[in-house]
Amino acid sequence: MEQILKYFPELTPLQKERLADLKALYEDWNSKINVISRKDMDAFYEHHVLHSLAIAKAYGSAFAPGCNILDLGTGGGFPGIPLAILYPECRFTLCDSIGKKVRVAQAVAEALELENVQAVNARAEALEGRFDWVVTRAVATLDKLLPWVRGKYSKGVICLKGGDVASEIQTAAGRHLLQPKKVTVSDISIFFGEEWFQDKKVVMVGE
């Protein structure tokens, strides 16, 4: 939590309380269902919560009150749940094709009394509705992801990524006529000083 407060000093008491409760909730669920790597739990706030909140640092001003956000491939609730805590006036749909992970995400949201979160067990292609934004974390390469979400958003897709992002964008551009000018890449190391973020990026594909 010290890392979170370092970068987000303006949190309300309720936001601080909910973020502080996250680790115990996930430790409890991890003892029943392996949602997060056991070794990763030691760096839970850095590798999962703070990583999720990099989206807020890069594009958070775009999440206007009332906007509708799809977290595709949410797993146990990342980046959706930390973002839902930060943006209580936005609506979040947490979607994953693996039922047990959706159950964890829903249970965590209920334990935190996050009324702006709905968890859905579905594949991206079968999901009904249209959203302002789609957010994802390490779900798929852009050339696979973009067809899944085509027609499902009005503003953009924001992805947490690592590795060779330039090559990935080039591949997607070739296969889906993606215009490079519609893609913005932000280094997470600009926002967070920890070494773990050195090769991590936030990639936004605009409509």
HEC profile for the chain?
Answer: CHHHHHHCCCCCHHHHHHHHHHHHHHHHHHCCCCCCCHHHHHHHHHHHHHHHHHHHHHHHHHCCCCCEEEEECCCCCCCHHHHHHHCCCCEEEEEECCHHHHHHHHHHHHHCCCCCEEEEECCHHHCCCCEEEEEEECCCCHHHHHHHHCCCEEEEEEEEEECCHHHHHHHHHHHHCCCHHHEEEEEHHHCCCCHHHCCEEEEEEEC
Q: How confident is the model at residue 114 (pLDDT cuts 50, 70, 90)?
A: very high
User: How many domains is the chain partitioned into structurally?
Assistant: 1
> pLDDT tens across 134-186, in order?
999 988 899 999 999 999 999 999 999 998 899 988 888 887 777 878 899 99
Output the pLDDT for position 37: 80
> pLDDT tens across 27-56, in order?
999 989 888 887 788 899 999 999 999 999
Please compute the mean of the pLDDT values over residues 124-134 and round it to a whole number: 91
Please compute the mean of the pLDDT values over residues 92-116 and round it to a whole number: 96
CATH number of 146's domain: 3.40.50.150
Average pLDDT over the chain, rounded to whole?
93
| pLDDT at residue 125 tops 90 | no
Model's pTM, two decimal places?
0.95
C-beta neighbour count of 67 within 10 angstroms: 17
Domain coverage including residue 44: 2-206
